[in-house]
Structure 1
């Protein structure tokens, strides 16, 4: 069975909202969108390209899916990450979407835990979650994430959706790898402690 891996940008205070653009996600009046861009260096770009190109499938929430579906199908297909994103299955968790225009997209059913288990079992390769804050919190609470690859950016935002929601179940993680980038981003890999290698 393949692993479910969360690859996420987070601030020092754990915020993961509206990382790439101002209008990406304004829920709760969040107005700090695009905060990762000043820190994206060649190491961050290479890491994200490898994480994407190496995945066997994507698991996305509605908002992230809509953002990706509006851009990735029109990217440079000579780029291995773009080609991989367009070729791989894309599992979408949504109660409202009916039309999935991006080729290879599959709408998951109402029982998310069962559906994610089925998606993981369908491939030996990794299923990667990118963004998708609300979906990711549900996956965390049901212990469905096998590995977290967190890019921790050197800033404090003070507000916004967090990777680990307040009031969630306490959990231990084991750090299995870490490195820093020239712009000060820490790339940390964690596994749930009971599954740590």
Structure 2
């Protein structure tokens, strides 16, 4: 059975660095399917295709990798795929994702999409969860403190895990 991994960015104010890109590339090594809800797919797929086509973009390598991997968009409203290398899935989420997980192949990766990920959690479909927590917003995504008017310029000074799996991150200015 294929594994379903979720990688989500939780952020406050705009920051992305090469370490996060390298982590994301490494996390894609065993992935042969990118799964999205409709809302995330509509932004994610065309954005990374544009990055992949721009050799001068600092994230070109990541965009190229995203564009090489087949995409699957789960939607009950779209009638056809607007994007290359993309298949639409409709119907019962749990049943359709279980069918996808039971097909031969490597790992399936999901990026973000709060409501889509919440549905995957509700149906107990996630095998691994990666949360990238940073004091930054990622472009125009959902923000915890919306809108911030200036950069916080924070430095991580401590990271402590608890038995529950919660992690406290301590930043200073």
In the alignment, structure 1 residue 136 sits paired with structure 2 residue 117: yes
* Corresponding residue for residue 37 of structure 1: 14
* Corresponding residue for residue 127 of structure 1: 108
* Corresponding residue for residue 5 of structure 2: 5
Summarize the Cα distance change of 1:183–1:52 in structure 2 as closer, same or farther, 3 Å threshold.
farther
Q: How does 1:1-197 map to 2 (within 5 A)?
A: 1-11=1-11, 35-38=12-15, 40-52=16-28, 54-76=30-52, 79-154=60-135, 157=144, 184=156
Q: Which runs of 5+ in 1 are unaligned?
A: 12-34, 160-181, 193-197
Deviation larger for 136-145 or 62-71: 62-71
Q: TM-score, normalised by structure 2?
A: 0.69
* Corresponding residue for residue 171 of structure 1: none
Higher relative contact order (CA 8 A, sep 6+): 2
Summarize the Cα distance change of 1:104–1:183 in structure 2 as closer, same or farther, 3 Å threshold.
farther
C-alpha RMSD of matched pairs (Å): 3.0
| Other structure's SS at 2:52 match | coil
The total of aligned residue pairs comes to 142
Q: Higher strand fraction: Structure 1 or Structure 2? A: 2
Distance 1:152 1:96 in 2: 31
Contact 2:2–2:104 at 8 Å: present in 1 too? yes
1:154 offset after TM fit, Å?
Answer: 3.9
Consecutive aligned runs of 4 or more in structure 1 exceeding 4 Å deviation? 77-80
Which of the pair has more CA radius of gyration? 2
Q: TM-score, normalised by structure 1?
A: 0.61
